[in-house]
Homo-oligomer: A and B are copies of this chain.
Amino acid sequence: MDPHLHRLPPGPVDLRALTTDDTSGFDGGKSSGKQALAALGDELSDLQERLFAERTTGSGRRVLLVLQGMDTSGKGGVLRHTVGLVDPQGVKITSFKAPTAEERKHRFLWRIRNALPQPGYIGVFDRSHYEDVLIVRVHGLAEPATIESRYDQINEFEAELAAEGVVIVKCMLHVSADEQRARLLARLDNEDKYWKFNPSDVDERAHWGDYRAAYEIALERTNTEVAPWYVVPSDKKWYRNLVIGGLLLEHLRGMALRWPAADFDVDEQRRRLLDEAPVA
């Protein structure tokens, strides 16, 4: 599948014109889609390990996968099924909730900077700094001028990260309102899923149009060359997971990761082990 199929083109964004239940670019259904995702595992794992190895050379390179989307769009599912394909040792996941009292004392990017992956890691943001121009805008949780200034701040921040060697992959998990309703109802039909349900998720549906507008503005204004947006059709979970797996793979491939050279004399170390006194 062409991983850039769902890359958002520059310019104004109309989310209603972007399908949520597309499976284009993949010639098959759910079961072959799941197999195709699993088949990415070996190469993803290999590249992730190269990235992890590279940090021993002092390289600053790392990956940051940003997951945004309405409730039930499947950020957790991507973590489990796609991010779960690689060694958890090299992954740093941060789930951003409503800011704490401590976090509120600082500028909005403070907690984001604190959660950045170290070199060599794949960092994943389950929600992110984009909440500060999404829910904050929808519910007027900050002054309009403050919100207005954040788009540029985000772009500067992401450009700075990119310059430091952070490969940024931003995915908007695009679901329809109908699919969200079906998923919320499914949670109510299954006692194992009650814990995932929050009555406030239903309240938020009344603001669906406002969220869409806030997303459209955010997507348009932060769709930069160094940190473009991908709008991932997410009504079909397997397709969403597969597309994001493909994007992760493509970005790792693009890093041309090499195994670090030895910074010691290999033959000498081999001799030391072969000639050593008995160890016991």
- A91 CA to B80 CA in the complex, in Å? 11
Closest Cβ–Cβ distance, residue A42 to chain B (whole Å)? 13
The main secondary structure of chain A at its interface with chain B is helix
Give the residues in chain B near A177, CB-CB below 8 Å.
Answer: 279-280
Q: Is A98 an interface residue (CB 8 A)?
A: no
- A270 CA to B189 CA in the complex, in Å? 9
- A91 CA to B81 CA in the complex, in Å? 14
- A233 CA to B184 CA in the complex, in Å? 47
* Count class of interface residues, chain A: 35 or more
Q: Which residue of B lies closest to A208 (CB)?
A: B279
Q: Is the CB of A262 within 8 A of B88?
A: no
Q: Is the CB of A181 within 8 A of B261?
A: no
Q: Is A259 an interface residue (CB 8 A)?
A: yes
- A181 CA to B209 CA in the complex, in Å? 64
Q: Is A95 an interface residue (CB 8 A)?
A: yes
Closest Cβ–Cβ distance, residue A277 to chain B (whole Å)? 8
Give the residues in chain B near A181, CB-CB below 8 Å.
Answer: 273, 276, 279
- Interface positions, chain A 158-204, Cβ under 8 Å from B, are 177, 181, 184-185, 188, 191-192, 194-197, 199, 202
Give the residues in chain B near A262, CB-CB below 8 Å.
Answer: 191, 194, 197
Name the contact of A88 in the complex, choosing from B83, B192, B205 (C-beta under 8 A).
B83
- A206 CA to B276 CA in the complex, in Å? 9
- A177 CA to B262 CA in the complex, in Å? 24
Q: Is A38 an interface residue (CB 8 A)?
A: no
- A280 CA to B197 CA in the complex, in Å? 21
| 13 sample A-B contacts, Cβ–Cβ < 8 Å, listed by A number | A79-B87, A79-B88, A79-B89, A89-B95, A185-B273, A188-B273, A191-B259, A191-B262, A192-B259, A199-B269, A202-B269, A202-B276, A205-B276
Knowing that A188-B273, A192-B259, A209-B280 touch, tell me 18 more A-B residue pairs with CB under 8 angstroms: A53-B196, A56-B195, A76-B89, A79-B89, A80-B87, A83-B88, A181-B279, A185-B273, A188-B269, A188-B270, A191-B259, A194-B262, A199-B269, A202-B272, A202-B276, A205-B279, A206-B276, A206-B277
